[in-house]
C-alpha cells in the first residue's frame, strides 16, 4: 500500500486516490495540425519508465484535485509530490534512467 | 530426446528414477544466430519451437535473463479460454485453444490441460446483455459458448451463492465448456524441451542490455554474457517490453503494472470449474493439489516490482466471499505478483517495427497465458516470413495510428 502525499491534504492511503498515469503529456497546441503518427504518440505511446517516474494522481476521496508525484517504479519509493504547473522535486543522486 | 511414456516411466523406476536425462541442454551462446528470441517465457519458447518445427529454422537462440518461465508464465492463474468478442481476437485465441487441445501429444509433455468449463458471471442487466451478445458473437465465429441463467449457473457450480439479495446478485453467466486451466510450468518446460530437441539454444541467466543496429537494421544484441549477432530479433519480454523497446529507440503504447494472485491452503475438491467475474473483480479455480487459486485486477499504478498493494487482495476476497460464502474460513497461504504489459485496447501487439528485423510480441497484459501456443505460432510465422500471418495482421503496432483498435476490455477486462 502506498502512502501518498497530497499537496493540499497531506499523507493519505493509496485507497483515497485514483491513478492518472504518466505526467507532463501536453495537449497538442494545434490539434488540427497533427498527423496520425503524432496523434498516436499523444494518445497511446507511453514512456513506461523503469526507475524514477513522474505520474499523476487524483485525490478522488479527498480534495478531488490532481497533482504529480515522483515515484520509483521498482522500489515504489516516493520522492515527493508537487502541484500541477510546479517544478518536480530533485531526484536522489542515484537516480538513473529518470524521465 | 527421450520420448516420455508410461514405458519410460516404468523403465526409469527400475533405476529409482536416477537416470532421467536433462530435459534440455544449457549451451554457451554462439557468436551469431539467424533469430534471437529475447525472453524465455511460454510465448518466447513457443515462438522458438514453431520457428524450428513449422519453418525449418535451426540456428535460433532464446535468451532469458533469469530462469525459464520465471516471469508471468509461472505466476499466472492458468485460465485458458477463447471466448473473446471481436472477430480478430476470437480467431487468434481460438487458434490457440485448438493448439492447446493437441499440445501434450505434439510436444510429448503433459501440459495438464483440463477443459473443465469457464463461467463469466453477469451481475447487472448491462452484464447480461453484454454476455448474451458475446455468446452470439462467439458462436458466429465457431467458438463454443452458452448462456446460463442463474439457476443454470447454480447447476453448473453448486457452491455459488445466487441469492437475489446479494450486493451483486448473479443474474447469469456465459459458459465456455472447452475452457479450463493448464499447468503453467509444463508449458514453459515442454516447449523448451521440444525446441531444444530441434536444435534451439536455450540460454538462461543472459540478460539483453542493448540492441545493436546498423543503417536502421538490427545486427545483434548486447548481453550480460557478451555480444551476440543476429539477423532477426523477436522480443517477447512481457512486462519488460518497454525497457527493450527503449534500447532500440522505439515507443510502445504499453504500460507495466503489478497483477497479483493468491492461493489458499489445500482443501478437498469443492469447485470443478473456473468462475470469473469482471464486475466484482475476482476469479477462482481449484488446483490439482486442492488449493483455491484466485486473482483479481491489476494494481492501478505503473510498476516493475513483482508485488502490489494489499487493498487489491482485500477487495477481491470480499467479492469472493459474497459469491462463495463456503470459503469464509479457508486460510490463504501465499500471494505473489507478476508484471503485466497492458495495452490501451486490451489486445496484444505482434508486429514488426520501424527497425528492420526487430519484432515485438507483447501487450498480452493480464490474459496471455491462454494464448501461449497461438502467439508463438503466429509470431514464428511473422519472423520467418518477415510478414504477419492473417491471424496476427490486425494486431500490428500501426493500429494505434490507423485507429483500428481491437477493444477487448469487455472480454478481457479483469478477466484473464
Ligand atoms: C497474477 C497473474 C495472473 C494471470 N492469470 C492469467 C490467466 O489466468 N490466464 C491467462 O491467459 N493469462 C494470465 N496472466 C497473463 C499471462 O501470465 C501472461 O500474459 C503470459 O504468461 C505472458 O507470457 P510471456 O512468455 O510473454 O511472458 P513472461 O513469462 O513474463 O516471459 C517474459 C520473459 O522475458 C524475460 N526478460 C525480460 N527482460 C529481459 C531481458 N532484457 N533479457 C532477457 N530476458 C528478459 C523475463 O525474465 C521473462 O522470463 C496472468 C498474469 C499474472 C501476473
Ligand atoms: Zn487532497
A67 in the Ramachandran plot: left (φ > 0), alpha (ψ -120 to 50) or beta? Answer: beta
What is the rounded distance in angstroms from the CA atom of residue B57 to the CA atom of residue B54?
A: 8
In a domain, A71, yes or no: yes
Which pLDDT score is estimated for A99?
39
φ/ψ of B236, rounded to 5, equals: -130, 65
Grid cell, residue A42, equals 499523444
pLDDT for residue A98 is more than 50: no
Q: How many domains does chain A have?
A: 1
Q: Which of B210, B246, B258, B304 to mutate to test the interface with A (most CBs of A within 10 A)?
A: B304
In degrees to the nearest 10, what's the CA dihedral of B321, B327, B328, B332?
Answer: -100
What are the E-state strand segments in B281-407? 282-286, 292-298, 332-342, 349-352, 358-362
Name the closest residue on chain B to residue A44, using Cα atoms. B253
Ligand 1: does its nearest atom lie under 6 Å from the Cβ of B180? no
Cα separation, B30 vs B197, whole angstroms: 17
* Whether A55 and B302 lie within 8 Å, measured CB to CB: yes
Cβ contacts of A43 on chain B, cutoff 8 Å = 344, 400
Find out whether A4 and A78 touch, Cβ atoms under 8 Å. yes
Rounded (to 5) percent helix, strand, coil in chain B: 35, 25, 40
Cα separation, A89 vs B55, whole angstroms: 53
Does residue A56 form part of some domain? Answer: yes
Among B252, B301, B313, which would you mutate to test the A interface (most chain A Cβ atoms within 10 Å of its Cβ)? B301
Q: Does residue A96 form part of some domain?
A: yes
Residue B9 Cα distances to A66, B6, B15, B101, B405, angstroms: 62, 5, 10, 23, 49
Query: Residues, chain B, total?
Result: 416
Is there a domain that residue A34 lies in?
no
Q: Domain B112-180+255-342: give its CATH superfamily.
A: D-Amino Acid Oxidase, subunit A, domain 2 (3.30.9.10)
**Closest C-alpha to B187, from B47, B63, B81:** B47
The ipTM, to two decimals, is: 0.94
β-pairing, A18-22 with A52-58? antiparallel
The answer to whether residue A59 sits within a structural domain is yes
C-alpha cell recorded at residue B402: 490507423
For residues B351 and B353, give the distance between their C-alpha atoms in angstroms, rounded to a whole number: 6
pLDDT of A39 > 50? The answer is yes
What residues of A are in contact with residue B403 (Cβ under 8 Å)? 36
Q: What is the predicted pLDDT for the residue at B340?
A: 97
Could you tell me if residue A33 is inside a domain? no
Low-confidence ranges of chain B (pLDDT < 70): 412-416
Other Cβ atoms closer than 10 A to B385? 10
CA A76-B408-B260 angle, to 5 degrees, is 30
Shortest distance, CA A89 to any CA of chain B (angstroms): 19
Bridge partners for B202 per DSSP: B62
A35: in domain: no
Give, in order, the Cα–Cα distances in Å from A43 to each of A69, B400, B410. Answer: 21, 9, 21
Tell whether B325 lies on the interface with A, counting CB pairs under 8 A: no
CATH code for the domain of A61 = 3.30.2270.10
Full residue range of the structural domain in which residue A71 is found? 7-24+42-99
Pairing of strands A52-58, A3-6: unpaired
Atom of ligand 1 nearest to the CA of B368: 19
In sequence order, what are the residues at sequence separation of 6 or more whose Cβ sits closer than 8 angstroms to the Cβ of residue A47? Answer: A22, A53, A99, B242
Decide if A67 is inside a domain. yes
Amino acid at each position: 500500500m502506498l502512502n501518498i502525499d497530497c499537496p493540499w491534504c497531506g499523507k493519505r492511503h493509496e485507497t483515497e486516490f485514483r491513478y492518472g498515469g504518466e505526467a507532463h503529456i501536453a495537449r497538442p497546441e494545434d490539434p488540427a495540425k497533427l498527423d496520425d503518427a503524432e496523434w498516436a504518440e499523444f494518445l497511446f505511446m507511453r514512456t513506461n519508465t523503469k526507475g524514477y517516474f513522474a505520474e499523476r494522481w487524483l485525490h478522488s476521496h479527498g480534495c478531488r484535485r490532481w497533482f504529480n508525484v515522483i515515484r520509483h517504479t521498482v522500489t515504489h519509493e516516493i520522492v515527493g509530490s508537487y502541484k500541477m504547473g510546479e517544478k518536480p522535486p530533485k531526484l536522489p543522486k542515484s537516480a538513473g534512467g529518470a524521465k | 530426446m527421450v520420448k516420455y511414456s508410461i514405458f519410460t516411466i516404468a523403465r526409469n523406476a527400475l533405476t529409482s528414477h536416477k537416470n532421467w536425462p536433462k530435459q534440455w541442454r544449457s549451451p554457451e551462446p554462439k557468436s551469431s544466430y539467424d533469430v534471437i528470441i529475447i525472453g524465455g517465457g511460454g510465448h518466447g519458447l513457443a515462438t522458438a519451437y514453431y520457428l524450428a518445427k513449422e519453418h525449418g529454422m535451426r540456428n535460433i537462440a532464446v535468451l532469458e535473463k533469469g530462469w525459464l518461465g520465471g516471469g508471468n508464465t509461472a505466476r499466472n492463474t492458468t485460465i485458458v479460454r477463447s471466448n473473446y468478442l471481436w472477430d480478430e481476437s476470437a480467431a487468434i485465441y481460438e487458434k490457440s485453444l485448438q493448439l492447446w487441445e493437441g499440445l501434450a501429444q505434439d510436444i510429448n509433455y503433459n501440459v495438464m490441460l483440463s477443459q473443465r468449463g469457464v463461467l463469466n458471471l453477469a451481475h447487472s442487466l448491462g452484464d447480461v446483455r453484454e454476455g448474451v451478445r458475446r455468446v452470439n458473437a462467439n458462436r458466429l465465429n465457431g467458438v463454443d459458448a452458452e448462456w446460463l441463467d442463474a439457476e443454470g449457473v447454480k447447476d453448473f457450480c453448486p457452491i455459488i451463492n445466487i441469492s437475489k439479495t446479494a450486493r451483486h446478485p448473479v443474474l447469469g453467466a456465459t459458459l465456455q465448456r472447452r475452457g479450463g486451466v493448464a499447468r503453467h510450468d509444463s508449458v514453459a518446460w515442454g516447449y523448451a524441451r521440444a525446441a531444444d530437441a530441434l536444435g534451439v539454444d536455450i540460454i538462461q541467466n543472459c540478460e539483453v542490455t542493448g540492441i545493436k543496429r546498423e543503417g536502421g537494421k538490427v545486427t545483434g544484441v548486447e548481453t550480460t554474457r557478451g555480444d551476440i549477432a543476429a539477423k532477426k530479433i523477436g522480443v517477447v519480454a512481457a512486462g519488460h517490453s518497454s525497457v527493450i523497446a527503449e534500447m532500440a529507440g522505439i515507443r510502445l503504447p504499453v504500460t507495466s503494472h503489478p497483477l497479483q494472485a493468491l492461493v489458499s491452503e489445500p482443501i478437498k475438491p469443492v469447485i470443478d470449474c473456473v468462475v470469473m467475474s469482471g464486475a466484482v473483480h475476482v476469479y477462482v479455480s481449484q488446483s490439482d493439489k486442492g488449493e483455491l487459486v484466485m486473482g483479481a485486477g491489476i494494481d492501478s499504478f505503473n510498476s516493475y516490482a513483482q508485488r502490489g498493494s494489499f487493498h487489491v487482495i482485500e477487495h477481491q476476497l470480499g467479492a469472493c466471499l459474497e459469491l462463495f460464502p463456503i470459503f469464509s474460513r479457508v486460510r490463504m497461504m501465499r500471494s505473489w505478483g507478476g508484471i503485466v504489459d497492458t495495452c490501451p485496447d486490451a489486445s496484444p501487439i505482434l508486429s514488426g517495427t520501424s527497425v528492420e528485423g526487430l519484432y515485438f510480441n507483447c501487450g498480452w497484459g493480464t490474459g496471455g497465458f491462454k494464448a501461449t501456443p497461438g502467439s508463438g505460432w503466429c509470431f514464428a510465422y511473422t519472423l520467418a516470413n518477415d510478414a504477419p500471418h492473417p491471424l496476427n495482421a490486425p494486431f500490428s503496432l500501426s493500429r494505434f495510428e490507423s485507429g483500428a483498435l481491437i477493444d477487448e476490455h469487455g472480454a478481457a477486462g479483469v478477466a484473464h
